[in-house]
Amino acid sequence: MKQVNIIIADESHLKYAQEICDVISDSAKVRGTGIARRTPEYIQAKMINHNAIIALSGDQFAGFCYIEVWGDTQYVAHSGLIVHPEYRNQGLAKKIKEFTFNYSLKKYPSSKVFGITTGLAVMKINSDLGYRPVTFSELTDDPKFWAGCKTCTNYDILTSKEHKMCLCTGMLYDPVKKVKKKEKWFNKKVLKRLKHIKQTMLAGNKQLLLWKK
């Protein structure tokens, strides 16, 4: 892998915002998954506030992730984790996630760190960091967070379940309740099977909603 530096983004990286949005969108299309879209302006705001992490190989964009703060810093979430196609399958996503996670703990030491995802790879990374799967009721109830899901193709499912369930899996790291390494819960085969069952059930409900409309 080419030499890649992972750093806290700032105003000097604003020029990468459009490319970041394009790579995130293209990745979602390839995977066939729903995604909460973000505008270049939103990404730039995160950079200006030093709540974004960027990976660069020289001047070339290699990866990205940003931090969102909810409930008056009671919760923080990592979103938009993406790696440029030229730098995938080399462990960069895990490095970016670990950097973002450790930076979050320093900047927001009393906050719970959470995320929602459909990706098994992200679940594995989160598990290694000490996250545990939780119901959506244990995540932030900040309406602005859930409003960010409106651009996702699965938003009808989320609203029909009153924000209690969707195709995503909720995951939480509580600094007060750290998970010991020997207590790691991640099992790829089991999670893949459960994910398939969940998708089948909820996708059926989505079709019913469309039929009612």
Quote the CA–CA distance of 2 and 62 in Å, as a whole number. 10
- Write down the CATH number for the domain with range 5-212: 3.40.630.30
Cβ atoms 20, 79 nearer than 8 A: no
89: left (phi over 0), alpha (psi -120 to 50) or beta: left
Quote the CA–CA distance of 188 and 178 in Å, as a whole number. 22
Instruction: Write down the residue that tokens 């545990």 correspond to.
Output: 132
139, 142, 144, 148 alpha-carbon torsion, rounded to 10°: 10
Single pTM value for the model: 0.78
Cβ atoms 133, 185 nearer than 8 A: yes
pLDDT, tens only, 95-116 = 999 999 999 999 999 999 998 8
Longest pairwise C-alpha distance within the chain: 53
Parallel, antiparallel or unpaired: strands 52-57 and 75-83: unpaired
Mean pLDDT, residues 4-25: 96
Q: What is the per-residue pLDDT for 151? A: 77
pLDDT, tens only, 143-182 = 888 888 887 778 888 888 888 888 888 999 999 876 555 4
Q: Name the band, by pLDDT with cuts 50, 70 and 90, for residue 37.
A: confident
Q: What is the per-residue pLDDT for 178? A: 65
Tell me: pLDDT of 7 over 70: yes
The identity of residue 113, as a single letter, is: V
Tell me: pLDDT of 72 over 80: yes
Q: Name the band, by pLDDT with cuts 50, 70 and 90, for residue 199.
A: low
Q: Name the band, by pLDDT with cuts 50, 70 and 90, for residue 17.
A: very high
Q: What percent of the chain has pLDDT over 90?
A: 46
Q: What is the per-residue pLDDT for 185? A: 55
What values do phi and psi take at 208, rounded to 5? -65, -40
The least confident of 84-93, 139-148, 196-205 is 196-205
Looking at every residue in the chain, the average pLDDT score rounds to 84
Q: 39: which residues sit within 8 A by CB, 6+ positions away? A: 21
Residue with more model confidence, 179 or 26: 26
What's the distance, CA 62 to chain centroid?
17
Quote the CA–CA distance of 144 and 174 in Å, as a whole number. 21
Tell me: pLDDT of 10 over 60: yes
Handedness of CA 38, 109, 5, 186 (dihedral sign): negative
CA triple 50-145-173, angle to 5 deg: 70
Quote the CA–CA distance of 76 and 187 in Å, as a whole number. 25
Tell me: pLDDT of 209 over 50: no
Tell me: pLDDT of 77 over 90: yes
